[in-house]
Structure 1
Amino acid sequence: MDFGSDRLRFLCFFLLLIFSPIRCQAQIPAEHDGFWYGKRPDRAESVVVEAFFDPVCPDSRDSWPPLKKVVQYYGSRVTLVAHTFPLPYHDNSFVSSRALHIVNKLNTTATYSLLEAFFDHQEQFYGSSTLNLSRASVVDKIVKFVIKELGPSFLSAIKSGFTDSKTDQVTRVAFKYGCIRGVYGTPSFFVNGFPVPDAGSPLDYEKWREIIDPLVTKILGLE
């Protein structure tokens, strides 16, 4: 969700100031950040859409159905990569994002199913639903939620994932990656590396078609 305020933009600028000086010194991750939707493409003839989502952001939730529809419509001509961007003013955003990274390491085919589950049941993870819960209780609540989606055989792995410092680090890296890209609200989208206007607002199916149709036409050599 984008506050659309000078205060939020200043926060983004401040974060960029923090992270920019360490770009050259920070350890480069071994893997590219993000969750690939379907198989990772082995060729370049594809429009690449990057989506920065907060699992407990209502605007991220609302933006997902039209984006999913358009990606399915274009098939192999469009590649989607989703990144977590846990906003600091959304309750339990970081821990729900961490759950996605844990699951992605265990079973990449389940990542988007879990993301959709978070979108469908966001009200369980913010506001009065978790107001009086400790962090440990919130983690336990999310572990149970994930197990309900993936099955009880994953219980031990999910629990240990939340005590593994590597999953904490990869979730932090995802946030820093968003900051370096200039993301300050969710959802935020990039197409072939260029930002799509109106960060923090969902795009409908027709708008996505307007953006992608000309690009696919060029790829197919029909222009």
Structure 2
Amino acid sequence: MKKHLFIAAVLVAAFAAALGSFLLFRPDSPSGTLDAEPAAQAMLVRESSHRLSRPERSELTVVEFLDFECEACGAVYPVVERLRERYGDRVTFVARYFPMPGHRNGELAARAAEAAAQQGKFEQMYSKLFTTQAQWGEAKESKEAVFRGFAEELGLDMALFDKALKDPATAERVRADQRDGLGLGVQGTPTLFMDGERVTPGSYEEFKALIDERLSRP
């Protein structure tokens, strides 16, 4: 996988510890990454943000800025899934888009997830994109046909999916997450925040320990 202009990933116990790198957002970027400026009033979570868990009484919020084509994000995905299974009734897990330069299909994958979200299938597409990343990641050609295939497998209305995928409003929704990320100092993926504080756990056990410590606070 390419490692220029994005984080270096070190896999420790199936988890990637991310080191941020600077981003260049250009309208003419061959990677398809959107041109984005930092949000003037950046927010970690907005009403429109995609919540992977919705506990009745949330005690903690974990936010991940991610790129579906990022190898390190792919390594973090099963860790987050384990944590969601364990803490989903107490912790709100939030996924936010942050496609990186150099990834031909990263921004397109984000739009595919957002198009699925418009039909109530964000989580299913989120999981599909990560579990199949090895099949489509780092391709030099567009993988739109592959993502359409995923949408069909999920039983989406394909006319609505195709319309949403090409709708400028869908691209703007992705760009809005990027703007917040840039405003919060995000420079690479995955970048994780726990109740507003950036965290860099090196393994599932370290992440679990961080959550346990926060949840034990009075």
- Scaled by the length of structure 1, the TM-score of the pair is 0.75
**For the Cα contact (< 8 Å) 1:34–1:84, is it kept in 2?**
no
Equivalent position to 1:23, from 30, 40, 46: 40
Cα deviation for residue 3 of structure 1 reads: 4.0
Task: Map residues 99-178 of structure 1 onto 2, 5 A cutoff.
Answer: 99-107=112-120, 110-127=121-138, 130-131=139-140, 133=141, 135=142, 138-148=143-153, 150-151=154-155, 153-178=156-181
**For the Cα contact (< 8 Å) 1:63–1:204, is it kept in 2?**
no
Task: Render the CA deviation track for 1:139-195: whole Å, top value 9, x for unaligned.
Answer: 2332122222x11x5211111112211101111111111111111111110000110
- Scaled by the length of structure 2, the TM-score of the pair is 0.76
Secondary structure of the structure 2 residue equivalent to 1:106: coil
**For the Cα contact (< 8 Å) 1:56–1:93, is it kept in 2?**
yes
Q: Following the alignment from structure 2 to structure 1, what is the Cα–Cα distance between the partners of residues 189 and 20?
A: 16
Cα distance change, pair 122–10 in 1 and its aligned pair in 2 (3 A): closer
**For the Cα contact (< 8 Å) 1:60–1:187, is it kept in 2?**
yes
- 1:190 alignment partner in structure 2: 193
**For the Cα contact (< 8 Å) 2:193–2:199, is it kept in 1?**
yes
Question: What's the C-alpha RMSD, in Å, of the aligned pairs?
Answer: 2.8
Cα distance change, pair 9–154 in 1 and its aligned pair in 2 (3 A): same
Larger radius of gyration: 1
**Which structure has greater helix proportion?**
1
**For the Cα contact (< 8 Å) 1:91–1:125, is it kept in 2?**
no
Cα deviation for residue 46 of structure 1 reads: 1.1
Cα distance change, pair 23–123 in 1 and its aligned pair in 2 (3 A): same
Secondary structure of the structure 2 residue equivalent to 1:48: strand
Asked if 1:38 corresponds to 2:41, the answer is no
Query: Which ranges of structure 1 fall in alignment gaps of 5 or more residues?
Result: 13-17
Tell me the matched-pair count: 192
- 1:213 alignment partner in structure 2: 212
**For the Cα contact (< 8 Å) 2:23–2:187, is it kept in 1?**
no
**Which structure has greater strand proportion?**
2
Identity in percent:
23
> Which aligned segments of 4 or more residues in structure 1 are displaced greater than 6 angstroms?
none
